[in-house]
Structure 1
Amino acid sequence: MSCLLLPSRDGFNDITFLYTGLLYIALPITLSPIVVMDGEVFDGWMLLSFFIIIWLSDVGAYCFGTAFGQKPESRKLAPSISPKKSWWGFWSGLVFGIGTAVGLHYLGWLPYGLGHCIALGAIVSAGGVCGDLFESMWKRQFGVKDSGRCIPGHGGMLDRFDSSLVAIPMAYVYLALIDLL
Protein backbone atom coordinates (compact mmCIF):
# COMPACT_ATOMS: atom_id res chain seq x y z
CA MET A 1 0.00 0.00 0.00
CA SER A 2 2.80 2.40 0.88
CA CYS A 3 4.31 2.01 -2.59
CA LEU A 4 1.09 3.24 -4.14
CA LEU A 5 1.11 6.36 -1.98
CA LEU A 6 4.74 7.32 -2.48
CA PRO A 7 5.24 10.59 -4.34
CA SER A 8 8.34 9.13 -6.00
CA ARG A 9 8.03 6.95 -9.03
CA ASP A 10 11.42 5.37 -8.56
CA GLY A 11 10.57 1.71 -9.12
CA PHE A 12 13.61 0.34 -7.30
CA ASN A 13 12.92 2.31 -4.12
CA ASP A 14 9.21 1.49 -4.26
CA ILE A 15 9.91 -2.24 -4.56
CA THR A 16 12.60 -2.06 -1.88
CA PHE A 17 10.21 -0.45 0.60
CA LEU A 18 7.48 -2.93 -0.29
CA TYR A 19 9.67 -5.97 0.31
CA THR A 20 11.26 -4.46 3.41
CA GLY A 21 7.79 -4.02 4.88
CA LEU A 22 6.77 -7.55 4.03
CA LEU A 23 9.98 -9.00 5.46
CA TYR A 24 9.79 -6.77 8.53
CA ILE A 25 6.39 -8.20 9.44
CA ALA A 26 6.64 -11.74 8.04
CA LEU A 27 10.01 -12.73 9.54
CA PRO A 28 9.08 -12.32 13.22
CA ILE A 29 5.67 -13.92 12.70
CA THR A 30 7.40 -16.87 11.04
CA LEU A 31 10.06 -17.16 13.76
CA SER A 32 7.68 -16.77 16.74
CA PRO A 33 6.42 -20.37 16.72
CA ILE A 34 9.95 -21.71 16.17
CA VAL A 35 11.31 -19.77 19.15
CA VAL A 36 8.61 -21.03 21.50
CA MET A 37 8.53 -24.69 20.50
CA ASP A 38 9.66 -27.08 23.20
CA GLY A 39 10.45 -30.11 21.09
CA GLU A 40 7.14 -30.87 19.40
CA VAL A 41 5.06 -28.92 21.94
CA PHE A 42 4.11 -25.25 21.57
CA ASP A 43 5.03 -23.34 24.73
CA GLY A 44 2.68 -20.38 24.91
CA TRP A 45 4.15 -19.25 28.23
CA MET A 46 7.47 -18.59 26.54
CA LEU A 47 5.86 -16.49 23.79
CA LEU A 48 3.92 -14.56 26.42
CA SER A 49 7.19 -14.15 28.36
CA PHE A 50 8.85 -12.44 25.39
CA PHE A 51 5.95 -10.00 25.09
CA ILE A 52 5.95 -9.35 28.85
CA ILE A 53 9.69 -8.58 28.72
CA ILE A 54 9.17 -6.23 25.77
CA TRP A 55 6.18 -4.45 27.29
CA LEU A 56 7.65 -4.02 30.79
CA SER A 57 10.91 -2.86 29.26
CA ASP A 58 8.89 -0.26 27.34
CA VAL A 59 7.13 0.81 30.53
CA GLY A 60 10.43 1.20 32.40
CA ALA A 61 11.99 3.09 29.51
CA TYR A 62 9.00 5.40 29.24
CA CYS A 63 8.74 6.14 32.97
CA PHE A 64 12.42 6.79 33.61
CA GLY A 65 13.05 8.34 30.20
CA THR A 66 10.21 10.80 30.80
CA ALA A 67 11.31 11.54 34.36
CA PHE A 68 15.05 11.94 33.75
CA GLY A 69 15.75 11.88 30.01
CA GLN A 70 13.75 14.93 28.93
CA LYS A 71 15.96 17.47 30.68
CA PRO A 72 17.92 19.77 28.36
CA GLU A 73 21.26 18.28 29.40
CA SER A 74 20.10 14.69 28.76
CA ARG A 75 21.51 12.91 25.74
CA LYS A 76 19.08 11.58 23.16
CA LEU A 77 19.35 8.08 21.75
CA ALA A 78 18.48 8.82 18.11
CA PRO A 79 17.29 12.43 17.87
CA SER A 80 16.76 12.46 14.11
CA ILE A 81 14.58 9.33 14.21
CA SER A 82 12.79 9.50 17.55
CA PRO A 83 13.56 12.81 19.30
CA LYS A 84 12.02 11.86 22.66
CA LYS A 85 14.01 8.65 23.18
CA SER A 86 16.85 9.16 25.64
CA TRP A 87 19.74 7.13 26.92
CA TRP A 88 18.04 7.26 30.33
CA GLY A 89 15.07 5.47 28.83
CA PHE A 90 17.25 2.94 27.02
CA TRP A 91 19.25 1.91 30.09
CA SER A 92 16.16 1.90 32.31
CA GLY A 93 14.33 -0.28 29.81
CA LEU A 94 17.29 -2.65 29.72
CA VAL A 95 17.25 -2.97 33.52
CA PHE A 96 13.48 -3.56 33.50
CA GLY A 97 13.83 -6.15 30.73
CA ILE A 98 16.54 -8.05 32.57
CA GLY A 99 14.60 -7.87 35.84
CA THR A 100 11.47 -9.13 34.11
CA ALA A 101 13.35 -12.03 32.50
CA VAL A 102 14.82 -12.99 35.88
CA GLY A 103 11.36 -12.86 37.46
CA LEU A 104 9.92 -15.02 34.67
CA HIS A 105 12.80 -17.46 35.14
CA TYR A 106 11.85 -17.89 38.80
CA LEU A 107 8.19 -18.32 37.82
CA GLY A 108 9.30 -21.16 35.55
CA TRP A 109 8.12 -19.49 32.35
CA LEU A 110 11.60 -19.30 30.82
CA PRO A 111 13.20 -22.76 30.84
CA TYR A 112 16.82 -21.58 30.70
CA GLY A 113 19.53 -20.98 33.26
CA LEU A 114 19.63 -17.66 35.08
CA GLY A 115 22.56 -16.38 32.97
CA HIS A 116 20.72 -17.11 29.74
CA CYS A 117 17.60 -15.39 31.09
CA ILE A 118 19.63 -12.29 31.93
CA ALA A 119 21.09 -12.33 28.41
CA LEU A 120 17.63 -12.88 26.88
CA GLY A 121 16.23 -9.97 28.89
CA ALA A 122 18.98 -7.70 27.59
CA ILE A 123 18.69 -8.96 24.00
CA VAL A 124 14.91 -8.72 23.89
CA SER A 125 14.97 -5.22 25.44
CA ALA A 126 17.67 -3.95 23.06
CA GLY A 127 15.92 -5.64 20.12
CA GLY A 128 12.71 -3.92 21.16
CA VAL A 129 14.39 -0.53 20.98
CA CYS A 130 15.83 -1.39 17.55
CA GLY A 131 12.39 -2.44 16.31
CA ASP A 132 10.82 0.74 17.63
CA LEU A 133 13.51 2.93 16.04
CA PHE A 134 13.25 1.05 12.74
CA GLU A 135 9.51 1.55 12.62
CA SER A 136 9.89 5.24 13.55
CA MET A 137 12.43 5.67 10.76
CA TRP A 138 10.12 3.90 8.35
CA LYS A 139 7.17 6.13 9.31
CA ARG A 140 9.31 9.26 8.94
CA GLN A 141 10.33 8.11 5.48
CA PHE A 142 6.66 8.04 4.46
CA GLY A 143 5.61 11.11 6.45
CA VAL A 144 3.26 9.10 8.66
CA LYS A 145 2.74 9.90 12.35
CA ASP A 146 0.71 6.85 13.41
CA SER A 147 0.63 3.39 11.86
CA GLY A 148 -3.13 3.09 12.31
CA ARG A 149 -6.18 4.06 14.30
CA CYS A 150 -6.96 0.71 15.96
CA ILE A 151 -5.60 1.77 19.35
CA PRO A 152 -6.18 5.52 19.80
CA GLY A 153 -3.34 7.35 21.56
CA HIS A 154 -0.82 4.56 20.99
CA GLY A 155 0.19 5.25 17.40
CA GLY A 156 -1.63 2.29 15.92
CA MET A 157 -1.46 -1.49 16.05
CA LEU A 158 2.05 -1.73 14.59
CA ASP A 159 3.34 0.61 17.31
CA ARG A 160 2.26 -1.92 19.94
CA PHE A 161 4.18 -4.72 18.24
CA ASP A 162 7.07 -2.94 16.49
CA SER A 163 9.44 -3.89 19.29
CA SER A 164 8.75 -7.59 18.82
CA LEU A 165 9.47 -7.38 15.11
CA VAL A 166 13.21 -7.17 15.85
CA ALA A 167 13.32 -8.61 19.39
CA ILE A 168 11.90 -12.02 18.45
CA PRO A 169 14.36 -12.66 15.60
CA MET A 170 17.22 -11.55 17.89
CA ALA A 171 16.00 -13.94 20.60
CA TYR A 172 15.83 -16.70 17.98
CA VAL A 173 19.43 -16.07 16.91
CA TYR A 174 20.60 -16.08 20.53
CA LEU A 175 18.77 -19.30 21.35
CA ALA A 176 20.08 -20.92 18.17
CA LEU A 177 23.63 -19.87 19.03
CA ILE A 178 23.46 -21.36 22.50
CA ASP A 179 21.89 -24.44 20.96
CA LEU A 180 18.85 -24.46 23.21
CA LEU A 181 16.29 -24.68 20.46
Structure 2
Amino acid sequence: MKQILQDMGQGNTYVSEAPAPVASRDSLLIASTVSLISAGTERMLVGFGKASYLDKARQQPEKVKMVLEKVATDGLMTTIEAVQSKLAQPLPLGYCNVGVVAEVGAGVDGFKVGDRVMSNGSHADMVKVPKNLCARIPDGVDDESAAFVVVASIGLQGIRLAQPTLGEAFVVTGVGLIGLL
Protein backbone atom coordinates (compact mmCIF):
# COMPACT_ATOMS: atom_id res chain seq x y z
CA MET A 1 0.00 0.00 0.00
CA LYS A 2 1.05 3.60 -0.46
CA GLN A 3 1.34 6.22 2.28
CA ILE A 4 2.71 9.75 2.54
CA LEU A 5 5.63 10.16 4.95
CA GLN A 6 7.66 13.10 6.20
CA ASP A 7 11.38 12.75 6.94
CA MET A 8 11.72 14.98 10.01
CA GLY A 9 15.53 14.98 9.84
CA GLN A 10 16.02 16.02 6.21
CA GLY A 11 12.62 17.51 5.41
CA ASN A 12 11.69 15.29 2.48
CA THR A 13 8.05 14.39 1.91
CA TYR A 14 7.54 11.23 -0.11
CA VAL A 15 5.14 8.47 -1.07
CA SER A 16 6.28 5.13 0.29
CA GLU A 17 5.26 1.53 -0.30
CA ALA A 18 4.56 -0.13 3.04
CA PRO A 19 2.90 -3.29 4.29
CA ALA A 20 -0.79 -2.81 5.00
CA PRO A 21 -1.61 -2.65 8.71
CA VAL A 22 -3.82 -5.27 10.32
CA ALA A 23 -6.66 -4.58 12.70
CA SER A 24 -5.81 -5.17 16.34
CA ARG A 25 -7.88 -5.11 19.51
CA ASP A 26 -10.09 -2.00 19.76
CA SER A 27 -9.18 -0.77 16.27
CA LEU A 28 -10.58 -0.64 12.75
CA LEU A 29 -8.78 -1.26 9.48
CA ILE A 30 -10.08 1.28 6.97
CA ALA A 31 -9.67 1.31 3.18
CA SER A 32 -9.27 5.01 2.43
CA THR A 33 -11.42 6.79 -0.13
CA VAL A 34 -10.57 10.42 0.76
CA SER A 35 -8.07 12.18 2.99
CA LEU A 36 -8.01 15.90 3.63
CA ILE A 37 -4.82 17.96 3.55
CA SER A 38 -4.76 20.42 6.43
CA ALA A 39 -2.58 23.14 4.97
CA GLY A 40 -1.71 24.71 8.31
CA THR A 41 -0.73 21.60 10.25
CA GLU A 42 0.93 19.78 7.40
CA ARG A 43 2.79 22.85 6.14
CA MET A 44 4.07 23.34 9.70
CA LEU A 45 5.33 19.73 9.83
CA VAL A 46 6.99 19.98 6.42
CA GLY A 47 8.61 23.29 7.43
CA PHE A 48 9.79 21.79 10.71
CA GLY A 49 11.31 18.84 8.87
CA LYS A 50 13.24 21.15 6.53
CA ALA A 51 14.50 23.38 9.37
CA SER A 52 18.05 23.18 10.70
CA TYR A 53 18.64 21.57 14.10
CA LEU A 54 18.93 25.04 15.62
CA ASP A 55 15.63 26.16 14.10
CA LYS A 56 13.99 22.91 15.24
CA ALA A 57 15.21 23.68 18.78
CA ARG A 58 13.83 27.24 18.59
CA GLN A 59 10.43 25.92 17.48
CA GLN A 60 10.21 23.40 20.34
CA PRO A 61 11.88 24.81 23.47
CA GLU A 62 10.14 22.24 25.69
CA LYS A 63 11.96 19.47 23.80
CA VAL A 64 15.28 21.29 24.27
CA LYS A 65 14.74 21.04 28.01
CA MET A 66 14.12 17.30 27.68
CA VAL A 67 17.29 16.91 25.58
CA LEU A 68 19.37 18.81 28.16
CA GLU A 69 18.00 16.60 30.93
CA LYS A 70 18.91 13.52 28.88
CA VAL A 71 22.45 14.86 28.36
CA ALA A 72 22.79 15.23 32.14
CA THR A 73 21.61 11.66 32.81
CA ASP A 74 22.78 9.68 29.75
CA GLY A 75 25.67 11.70 28.33
CA LEU A 76 26.16 13.76 25.18
CA MET A 77 26.82 11.04 22.59
CA THR A 78 23.92 8.85 23.74
CA THR A 79 21.62 11.87 23.57
CA ILE A 80 22.83 12.90 20.09
CA GLU A 81 22.22 9.35 18.84
CA ALA A 82 18.74 9.31 20.41
CA VAL A 83 17.79 12.67 18.83
CA GLN A 84 19.10 11.61 15.42
CA SER A 85 17.27 8.29 15.70
CA LYS A 86 14.01 10.07 16.57
CA LEU A 87 14.36 12.49 13.64
CA ALA A 88 15.18 9.59 11.29
CA GLN A 89 11.82 7.92 11.96
CA PRO A 90 9.44 8.82 9.12
CA LEU A 91 6.24 10.53 10.26
CA PRO A 92 2.98 9.63 8.51
CA LEU A 93 1.23 12.82 7.39
CA GLY A 94 -2.49 13.44 7.62
CA TYR A 95 -5.24 13.12 10.20
CA CYS A 96 -8.53 13.59 8.30
CA ASN A 97 -9.39 10.28 6.67
CA VAL A 98 -12.58 8.82 5.21
CA GLY A 99 -12.99 5.26 4.06
CA VAL A 100 -14.74 1.93 4.31
CA VAL A 101 -14.20 -0.49 7.18
CA ALA A 102 -12.21 -3.44 5.83
CA GLU A 103 -11.69 -5.26 9.13
CA VAL A 104 -13.01 -4.90 12.67
CA GLY A 105 -10.64 -5.65 15.54
CA ALA A 106 -11.58 -7.67 18.61
CA GLY A 107 -13.45 -5.68 21.23
CA VAL A 108 -15.00 -3.27 18.72
CA ASP A 109 -18.78 -2.83 18.81
CA GLY A 110 -20.89 -0.51 16.67
CA PHE A 111 -18.91 -0.95 13.44
CA LYS A 112 -19.02 -3.61 10.75
CA VAL A 113 -17.15 -4.37 7.54
CA GLY A 114 -18.48 -2.09 4.79
CA ASP A 115 -19.40 0.85 7.06
CA ARG A 116 -18.38 4.26 5.73
CA VAL A 117 -16.36 6.00 8.45
CA MET A 118 -14.38 9.13 9.17
CA SER A 119 -11.29 8.97 11.35
CA ASN A 120 -8.03 10.65 12.21
CA GLY A 121 -6.15 8.23 9.95
CA SER A 122 -3.23 9.39 7.84
CA HIS A 123 -2.81 9.77 4.07
CA ALA A 124 -2.53 6.08 3.17
CA ASP A 125 -4.38 3.45 1.16
CA MET A 126 -5.18 1.55 4.38
CA VAL A 127 -5.14 2.90 7.94
CA LYS A 128 -5.50 1.30 11.35
CA VAL A 129 -7.33 3.61 13.75
CA PRO A 130 -8.49 3.16 17.36
CA LYS A 131 -12.28 2.75 17.52
CA ASN A 132 -12.69 5.86 19.68
CA LEU A 133 -11.26 8.00 16.85
CA CYS A 134 -13.75 6.74 14.25
CA ALA A 135 -17.38 7.63 13.51
CA ARG A 136 -19.86 6.26 11.00
CA ILE A 137 -20.85 8.65 8.22
CA PRO A 138 -24.60 9.24 7.95
CA ASP A 139 -26.37 8.45 4.69
CA GLY A 140 -26.60 11.54 2.52
CA VAL A 141 -23.16 12.87 3.54
CA ASP A 142 -20.58 12.46 0.79
CA ASP A 143 -17.00 11.40 1.55
CA GLU A 144 -15.49 14.75 0.61
CA SER A 145 -17.72 16.62 3.09
CA ALA A 146 -17.14 14.02 5.81
CA ALA A 147 -13.38 14.55 5.53
CA PHE A 148 -13.79 18.00 7.11
CA VAL A 149 -15.35 16.64 10.32
CA VAL A 150 -12.03 16.01 12.10
CA VAL A 151 -10.86 19.58 11.44
CA ALA A 152 -14.25 20.98 12.49
CA SER A 153 -14.06 19.00 15.72
CA ILE A 154 -10.82 20.80 16.60
CA GLY A 155 -12.66 24.14 16.43
CA LEU A 156 -15.53 22.69 18.45
CA GLN A 157 -13.12 21.45 21.13
CA GLY A 158 -11.68 24.97 21.38
CA ILE A 159 -15.16 26.31 22.06
CA ARG A 160 -15.78 23.59 24.65
CA LEU A 161 -12.54 24.45 26.45
CA ALA A 162 -13.61 28.11 26.60
CA GLN A 163 -16.79 26.97 28.40
CA PRO A 164 -19.19 29.56 26.97
CA THR A 165 -22.35 30.26 28.92
CA LEU A 166 -25.86 31.16 27.78
CA GLY A 167 -25.99 34.65 26.34
CA GLU A 168 -22.33 34.83 25.33
CA ALA A 169 -21.43 35.41 21.69
CA PHE A 170 -18.60 33.30 20.29
CA VAL A 171 -16.66 33.58 17.05
CA VAL A 172 -14.14 31.09 15.72
CA THR A 173 -12.31 32.88 12.96
CA GLY A 174 -9.18 32.51 10.90
CA VAL A 175 -7.90 32.01 7.39
CA GLY A 176 -7.16 28.30 7.90
CA LEU A 177 -9.56 25.40 7.69
CA ILE A 178 -10.62 25.62 11.34
CA GLY A 179 -11.41 29.32 11.13
CA LEU A 180 -13.23 28.98 7.84
CA LEU A 181 -15.42 26.08 8.95
TM-score, scaled to structure 2: 0.26
| Greater share of residues in strand | 2
